[in-house]
Amino acid sequence: MSTAHDIVQAVGGAGNIVSLSHCATRLRFQLRDASGVDVPTVESIKGVMGAVPQSGERFQVIIGGAVQNVYNEINSLPEMADQKPLSDEEIKAAARAGGVRGRFDWIDSFFEFLSDSFRPILGALLGASLFITFMSLMSTLGVIGNWADPRVTLPASWQFMNLLWQSVFVFLPLMVAYNASKKLGADPWVGFAIMGLVMLPGFTALGGIGEAYQATVAGSEVTLIDIFGVPLTIFNYSSQVFPPLLMAAVLGPLYRILKRIIPENLHLIFVPFLSMLIMLPLTAFLIGPIGVYVGAGLASVLQAINSFSPFIFAIVIPLAYPFMVPLGLHWPINAIMLLNISQNGFDYIQGPMGAWNFACFGATAGVLFLAWRDRDIQMRQTATGALAAGLLGGISEPSLYGIHLRFKKIYPRLLAGCLVGGVIIGFGGGLKTSAFVFTSLLTIPAFDNIGLYALAIGAAFLTSMLLVIFTDYRTAEQKAAARRGGVDAVAEPTPEPRVIVVDDVQVNQARQWVTALGGEENIDGVEWIAETRVRVGVKDDSLVDVEALQRAGLAGAVRVTPNVWHLVAGLEAEQYAEGIRRRVASA
C-alpha cells in the first residue's frame, strides 16, 4: 500500500477525516475522533517523520519536503471522495472541545489565518531568498556594487539579475491577498484585484502630480491627494503584508453577508461586483493606510527594544523563538521582517533568529549521531530528513515536530545553543540583512557581517549538538528500547509474513502482461525491486512482445541481460509482481 493510504487508515480511515490541509512540512488533519489514533503506528509508516496529537480533535503528521505530494495522493484516494460533512451536533461538539481552539477559538483561527496566508508562497520566498543570497555574495566579493542601494546603478546584466528576486517581493501583497482571501472564503481573485489597485503604477504616480501635498500623520511625512474632496494617502505598497491581511479580514465577512442577501442565481455577477465596489475605495482610502501604520507601529516597538540594547535583543529573540514557532507566533514577526526591509532597507531580526535555527539543527544533528551509534533506524531516518530540510532550506518544523517536542530533555540543550549564539551576536553589535531569507547554510552571505554570523550560528549548532551527544536526550528506558530496536532491525532474524492485496484491475493487468511476456510457461521468476519495477526472468526472449506490454498499460520494459527483463510498473509494482506470481503459479 502507499504512504497516503497507510496514513489515512492510521488516522481512522477516510470517514474519520473532517478536513485536511498542509503547511510547509506537515499534514494537518481535523478528525471526528482523534482518541483512537495510535501515534507509534503513524510514525512507523514509511515517509512519516513524526506525529503530533493536538487539542480539538486535530492531528498533525510530519512529512517534510514531500508534504505536497503526499497531500495530493491522499486527496486522490477513492475513499476520500466519499467524505461526509460534519453534522450540526459534531460541529457544536468541536466548538466546545478543550484546548486553545475550544476555549478561545479566535486565537487559533487568527494564527491559522496568518499561516495559511503565507504557507503557499513559502517556495517562492525560498527561491527568491537564494537569488538574494547570490547578489549579496557578488557584492561581498566586489564583483558588483551594493545591489540593495537604489542610488547604486548596476550594469544592465546585473540589473536583470536583481529583478529575479523582486518578481516575488514587489508583488508579495498580491500573493498574500489571494491566499488570505481564499482562507476566509472570499473569491481569491477578487482579493487579488482589490489589492492590485494600490499596486498600480498609476496609483503611485498620483503622488507626483501638482495637486498632491505633504502632511504629517502619526509623526511621519506622507503624500496626500484629494479625491472628490476626500484625502487619499499615497504609499508604495510593494512588499507590504499587513494591508492585504487587513483587506482580506474585511472582505471575507463582507462576501458571506452579500451571499446571504443576494439571490443565489445572481451570485456570480453581483457578489464580486458589490464586493469590489465597496472594498476598492475602502482599501485605498482606509484599510491600506491603516495596515501600513499598524505594521510600522509593531516594527517601531521592536526597533525601540533593539535600539535600547542590541545585546539584550540578540539574546531574547533566539530564546523566544523555540516557544513562538509551535504556537504560530512567528508569523507576525516574519511580516515585520518584510516591513523592515521595505521601509528601512534592512532587517535586524533575522540574524538572532538564525541562532535559534542553527541551535535547533544542531540538536537534530546530535540526535542523528546517537541514532547512528545506537542503530536506531527509525530515528535515523527522521533526523536525516529534518537535518537536510534545516541546513539546506532553513525549515525548522521537521526537527521541532518530528523530534524536539517529543523528547523533553532536548529543549534545555537547544536553549543553551540559542543563548550562546545570541550572546555572540550581541557582543558583535547585532546583524543586518538587506533581504528576507531563510536562515540556512546557503543564505549565510546575505548578512552584513558574514564572519560574525557564521561564528554565532556555528557556536549555536555545536553547543546544542555536543550537549545532546554527551548528555543524551532520552530516558534510560528510551535508550534501551532504541538499542534493542536497532539490533533487531540489523539482525532481522524472522521477518513477519506480509499479505499483499491485489485488486481486480491489477489482476487483469497482470494477466495481459503475462500473455505479452510469452505466457505462463515462458516465465521462470518474478521479483519486485526498486519500488517501481518488477524483475521477470523468461526462458525465451524472442517471445516477449514489448509493444503488447505497452498497449496493456506498462510504462516501459527493458531487457537488462539475456532472459531478464525489468518492467517499469509504477508505485503499485509490488501488487503487479504478486499478480504475475499468482497467475504463473495457477497455470
Enumerate the β-bridge partners of residue 565: 536, 559
Name the residue among 419, 369, 446, 466 with its Cα closest to residue 126.
446
DSSP state of 27: E
C-alpha cell recorded at residue 543: 517471445
d(CA 422, CA 418): 6
Task: Compute the distance between CA of residue 99 and CA of residue 504 in angstroms, rounded to an integer.
Answer: 46
DSSP calls for 43-60: HTSTT--EEEEETTTEEE
How would you list the strands of the sheet with 523-529, edge to edge?
523-529, 533-538, 564-568, 556-561
Q: Which residues pair with 561 in a beta bridge?
A: 564
Residue with cell 505466457: 519
Q: Position of cell 543553551?
A: 416
Q: How many CB atoms lie within 10 A of CB 547?
A: 9
| Cα–Cα dist 366/464, whole Å | 7
Determine the Cα–Cα distance for residues 382 and 400; give it in Å rounded to an integer.
11
Closest of 552, 556, 553, 521 to residue 537, by C-alpha: 521
Of 11, 18, 23, 325, which is the active-site residue?
23
- Output the CA–CA distances (angstroms, integers) from residue 1 to 13, 526, 573, in the order listed: 14, 19, 10
Residues 544, 18: Cα–Cα separation, whole Å: 49
The torsion of the CA quartet 332, 335, 341, 344, rounded to 10 degrees, works out to: -50
Question: What's the CA dihedral at 79, 84, 85, 91 to 10 degrees?
Answer: -110
C-alpha distances out from residue 315 to 198, 352, 419, 433, Å = 38, 7, 6, 18
225 sits in which H/E element = strand 220-227
Q: Are 351 and 370 in contact (CB under 8 A)?
A: no
Query: Are the beta carbons of 368 and 47 closer than 8 angstroms?
Result: no
List Cβ neighbours of 580 (8 Å cut-off, separation of 6 or more). Answer: 510, 513, 514, 523, 526, 534, 536
Pairing between β-strand 17-22 and β-strand 50-54 as defined by DSSP bridges: unpaired
Query: Cβ of 185: how many Cβ atoms within 10 Å?
Result: 13
Contact 260, 252 (CB under 8 A): no
Amino acid at 464: S
Does the active-site annotation cover 23? yes
Catalytic residues: 23
